[in-house]
Amino acid sequence: MGAGVVNSGGGGGSRRRRRRSGGSSRPMSEINITPFVDVMLVLLIIFMVAAPLLTVGVPVELPKTAATSLPSDNEEPLTVTIDASGVVMIQTTEVDRSDLVNRLRAIATERADDRVYLRADGSVPYETVAQIMGALNAGGFSSIGLVTDIGGPTLDGAGN
């Protein structure tokens, strides 16, 4: 049994390459993305905080259901609101019921999407909601989404 020494062929480290101090230096080929990631995370937090504040807000008590939310598009959604006293608003502008269909027709000619969201206070009679839905349809909006709050009864025996 003989013990031998294995030579790695490097000459024991005496022939290392050394970078020249006065000559040409190679440019760094790596990109430091840490500042970019930091900026993106700050922007994400800002948008997460600001997004709920950007919704059209007329204070109403929406009924609670177990329905899921509708997918959103790039265009700002048109929202029609009926408050507890029966006042009808397009976005945040109060509209007289007799002028509602004409206003909706004018808006429908300018929009590419025929989707409208109807927000009605839970205390508004169903007859009033149905009349406004008819006016929305007559105004040129065939895709009507009813806005509700989540967390209501599921009606399958498993929920509230």
**Domain map (residue ranges) of the chain:** 57-150
Prediction pTM value: 0.53
* Residue 8 pLDDT: 54
Q: What is the mean pLDDT of residues 130-153?
A: 85
CA distances from 34 to 41, 45, 47, 48, 51 (A): 11, 17, 20, 21, 26
- Residue 123 has φ and ψ, to the nearest 5°, of -90, -5
pLDDT of residue 71: 58
Smallest Cα–Cα separation from 136: which of 120, 118, 113, 123?
A: 118
Query: What's the whole-number mean pLDDT along residues 106-114?
Result: 85
Give the pLDDT confidence score for residue 41 in this predicted structure.
94
User: In which band, very low, low, confident or very high, does the pLDDT at 63 lie, cut at 50, 70 and 90?
Assistant: confident
No. of helices (H) and no. of strands (E), the chain: 3, 7
The class of domain 57-150 in CATH terms is: alpha beta
**44-50 CB contacts, 8 Å cutoff, 24+ apart:** none
**Mean confidence (pLDDT) of the chain:** 78
Q: What is the DSSP letter of 148?
A: -
- Which has the closest alpha carbon to 132: 148, 149, 119? 119
Comparing C-alpha atoms, which of 69, 79, 89 is closest to residue 144? Answer: 79
If residue 42 lies in a helix (H) or strand (E), which one and from where to where?
helix 34-50
Q: How many CB atoms lie within 10 A of CB 104?
A: 22
Task: State mean pLDDT over 67-79.
Answer: 68
Please give the average per-residue pLDDT across 39-45, as a whole number.
93
Rounded percentage of the chain residues whose pLDDT exceeds 70 = 71
Task: Check residue 69 and give its pLDDT.
Answer: 63
- pLDDT attached to residue 142: 84
